[in-house]
């Protein structure tokens, strides 16, 4: 078959095939059914888009709300307008929202005043008690000073040179000195010491010693001196000397 013939045949076939506009009877195709399936595949993308738009809208709304809140705190924005805006976002009746906000503000102010009053009362109490203590201590000090001055005056009267002599201040922390006892002496009894009887009066002593010029006889059985044994015992002596 010549090339020319072939091309003619090809052209006829091409025209016939491309010229076919309707589906032949032997082919079953329902465009509607196919579209339903295609629509299902198309819709998720639409849904995704709408979800994206919704998410963006929500984000913008939250940003707006947060900015409005920030603005109300930081600026001298008309409070009534802000409340109205808030009520718009919260879907509340604007009038009620404003009244509620005013009541809330009043409550807050009241509570703050009460707290302030309580704080003031507490401070006053503390200050007055502290003042009282101070006054008491001052009075006590003044009283003690007065007493001291009386004592000092009386001392000066009796012994005027007492303050002229240098006063030697003894070391309070100085240790008490004890007599050194030998170990052999610990068991041996200490010799008794004669001490002046404290229970006898000065008049009795004078009378008994014969230095009195009075004729009144003072009868007394009390001795002038009394024997007093040293209380030193072994254990105490050792310990204290150490």
- Using CB under 8 A, list all residues that contact another protein: 1, 5-6, 8-10, 12-14, 16-29, 31, 34-35, 37-39, 41-43, 45-46, 49
Residue 105 CB, shortest distance to another protein, in Å, is 50
CB within 8 Å of 207: residues ≥ 6 apart: 214, 217, 218, 220
Specify whether the CB–CB gap between 84 and 98 falls below 8 A: yes
Torsion of CA 156, 160, 164, 170, to 10 degrees: -60
Identify which of residues 33 and 175 has a Cβ nearer to another protein in the complex: 33
Identify which of residues 53 and 88 has a Cβ nearer to another protein in the complex: 53
Identify which of residues 14 and 241 has a Cβ nearer to another protein in the complex: 14
Identify which of residues 24 and 166 has a Cβ nearer to another protein in the complex: 24
Compute the C-alpha angle 211/212/216, nearest 5°.
Answer: 150
Identify which of residues 47 and 107 has a Cβ nearer to another protein in the complex: 47
Residue 20 CB, shortest distance to another protein, in Å, is 5
Structure tokens at 196: 């002046």
Residue 36 CB, shortest distance to another protein, in Å, is 10
Residue 108 CB, shortest distance to another protein, in Å, is 52
Residue 54 CB, shortest distance to another protein, in Å, is 16
Identify which of residues 21 and 213 has a Cβ nearer to another protein in the complex: 21
Residue 93 CB, shortest distance to another protein, in Å, is 40
């Amino acid at each position: 078959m010549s090339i020319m013939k072939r091309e003619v045949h090809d052209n006829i076939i091409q025209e016939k095939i491309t010229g076919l506009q309707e589906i032949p009877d032997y082919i079953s195709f329902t465009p509607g059914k196919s579209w339903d399936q295609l629509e299902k595949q198309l819709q998720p993308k639409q849904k995704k888009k709408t979800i994206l738009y919704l998410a963006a809208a929500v984000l913008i709304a939250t940003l707006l709300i947060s900015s409005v809140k920030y603005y109300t705190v930081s600026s001298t924005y008309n409070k009534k307008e802000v409340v109205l805006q808030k009520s718009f976002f919260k879907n509340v009746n604007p009038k009620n929202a404003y009244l509620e906000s005013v009541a809330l503000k009043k409550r807050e102010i009241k509570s703050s005043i009460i707290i302030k009053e309580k704080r003031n009362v507490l401070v006053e109490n503390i200050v007055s008690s502290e003042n009282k203590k101070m006054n008491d201590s001052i009075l006590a000090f003044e009283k003690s000073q007065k007493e001291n001055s009386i004592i000092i005056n009386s001392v000066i009267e009796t012994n005027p040179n007492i303050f002229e002599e240098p006063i030697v201040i003894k070391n309070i922390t100085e240790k008490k000195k004890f007599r050194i006892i030998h170990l052999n002496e610990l068991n041996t009894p200490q010799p008794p010491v004669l001490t002046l009887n404290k229970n006898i009066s000065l008049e009795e002593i004078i009378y008994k010693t014969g230095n009195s010029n009075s004729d009144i006889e003072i009868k007394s059985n009390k001795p002038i001196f009394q024997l007093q044994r040293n209380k030193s015992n072994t254990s105490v002596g050792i310990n204290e000397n150490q």
